[in-house]
Each structure stands twice: as structure tokens, then as C-alpha cells.
Amino acid sequence: MRVKTGSSQSNLFDILKHADSASQRKSSLDRLDVIDWETFRALLEERLSYGDQSKGGRIPWCPVLMLKVLVLQRFFDLSDQETEFQILDRFSFLRFVGLRPGDGSPDHATIWSFKERLGAEGMVAVFELFNEQLRTQGLIASCGKIIDASFIEAPKQRNRRHENEQIKRGEVPERIAKRPRRACQKDLDARWTQKNHVSYFGYKNHVKVDAASKFIETFTVTNAAVHDSQPVGKLLRESDREAVLWADSAYVGPFIAALLKGFAMLANICEKGTAARPLSREQKRANRQKSRIRSRVEHAFGRIAQFGGDRFRRIGQRRCRFETALTNLTYNLDRYAMFHARG
């Protein structure tokens, strides 16, 4: 029986035909082409500040191309090394970042260096710039907001009990301080916490989401031990004044009530019951009504989890803030593309 198999060798025309065939196929990345990537160029060049290149040295990669590489990396939850390989291996990845076969591509060291040079503040600025575009297009309104937090799990640290106590006090254990190579592999910013009898180690992504469009408007990053309600003041802006706020029962308390009163916001916060004072039937019914809107933030967290944004592979809160800003930006870019596809 005759069957088709791979040829022992390919000529140039076969390779060109294969490349042309691949370029005709649609990929999940093509829908992100609706984004005006050039609007980020001025900000990126300002933040990166490569300086005068007339004296020579290695020519840096285009900052817009590198931003696309980071979005690609977050979109598919890839390491730096795997990102380098996939860009070389896949025509759709090459097409997305604006390269062709033979152009070369950024290696893993270049990707790492770009992230370090841009820094957390730079990535937050990129996130905020895109949100300004969303507001200009009327995709972020000021009628209703939802606040919530989700865990970002970090690699667990195997420390001794007394060392963990020192880390909680903000001290560096002597055994770690004496060995710089060990110290650089220890995350001294992440913390342990428990929720529903399950232990978590890492950080939290606190977000404020537009209730209508589900775009993430603002965010902040804390260690996992910080209560959900503590950073609310960092999430609210003057534009939120007199808006409606939805939240779960973790945000019940006098501190939140006073904060929302200062912003003249209408609070639709789920009530909390206890064993001594369980919720009445009317309170449970009211909670269900509030949860119909409040639960929309869980859709955002679910999509972020698909990106791998609920895990953190690097070390330190500064880098976690960078990765979280990139994750939230990627989510907003993806959602914007979905809005555009719907027309």
C-alpha cells in the first residue's frame, strides 16, 4: 500500500510554499491586530531610555516588538527560554511580533533584560496608558465598579520555623544572609495564608473592575497575608465618586464604610452571617441579587487563570508587580479584541 511520508529533503520552493500556506491560516493572535501598538512606542522609549547609540554597541530590539513578545509570553504562559523557541518555531508567533523567517528573534537573555530594564513602574505605566485609550473610546464607564482579590501562588520556600518568624518581622535570617547565592533564590516578600482551610503562599492581585465591560481599571499587589479590604483605598480614584460599588462580604466593616462615604459611593456589599447571627431569608435574597453583578469579577479572574496569571515563577514583590501588570494588561487587550470582534 502506498502512503504519504515526509520527503528526505526539501528544496527552496517547498519551504516557500509551506511558509505561504502557514501565513494564510488564521491564529488566535490575529484578533489582537486591532490594537494600535504604535501608541505605546513613545512611552516605552521614554521608560527604556537607551540613550545615544552613535558610540556603537549592540542595537536594541524595537520596544513595540518586545512588548508584543511579553504579551505573547503571558498569553501562552511561556518561560523566557520557551518564548525564544516558540517564536523561532511558529509562523503565527513570527507574524504577530512583526518578523519573518530569517530575521532572527530576541533570545531568552534579551527578553529577561527587557523586563528588568522596563521594570514594574514601566509596565504599570503601559497598563494605565491602554486604560486611557479604553476610557477615550467609552469602554470604561463610571456607573459601577467591582472590587475583589485573587491569590498569585509563588514557589514555596523551605525555611526553618524560626527563620519564617524572622522573615515575617522583615528580617533576613543569618543562614540566608551569609550565602548570597541562596539569598537570591529566596522570596522574602511572599507570605503564607489560609482560606477555606487551604494554605496559600505568595501574593494577591487586588483589582477594581468596570461592572459593565469587565475591564480591569486599577490594581495593586500585596503579599497573600494582607486582608482583601486593606488596599481598597489604593484602588479607588476621584472618577469613582458617586458610583456604585459591588463587593463580597470580605469588604464589610467600618473602615470600608468610612472610605466609601468619603467617595459618596453607593455600597452593594454582600452581608456576612455568623453562627450566632445567621443571615435572614431577606438578607440571603439580597446577597443573591448583589452577587449577580459582583460575580462578573470572577470571569476576569477565570480568564487570568487561563493565562497562568494565578502563578508566579519569579522572586520578589517588585517582579510580581511587573508580572501582574503584564497579566492585567494582557487580559484587557484580549477583552478589547473580543469587544472589537463583536462589533
Residue 112 burial class via C-beta count within 10 angstroms: exposed 0-12, middle 13-18, buried 19 and up: middle
Average confidence score pLDDT of the chain: 89
Residue 181 pLDDT grade (very low, low, confident, very high; cuts 50, 70, 90):
confident
pTM, two decimal places:
0.90
**Residue 182 pLDDT exceeds 80:** no
C-beta separation of 151 from 311 below 8 A = no
Domains of the chain: 12-120 (no CATH), 141-154+190-312 (3.30.420), 159-188 (no CATH)
d(Cα 162, Cα 19) in Å, to the nearest integer?
59
Lowest mean pLDDT among 23-37, 64-78, 277-291, 307-321: 23-37
C-beta separation of 336 from 134 below 8 A = yes
Q: Tell me what the mean pLDDT of segment 114-119 comes to.
A: 95
Residue 148 burial class via C-beta count within 10 angstroms: exposed 0-12, middle 13-18, buried 19 and up: buried
Cα 64 to its chain centre, rounded Å, is 18
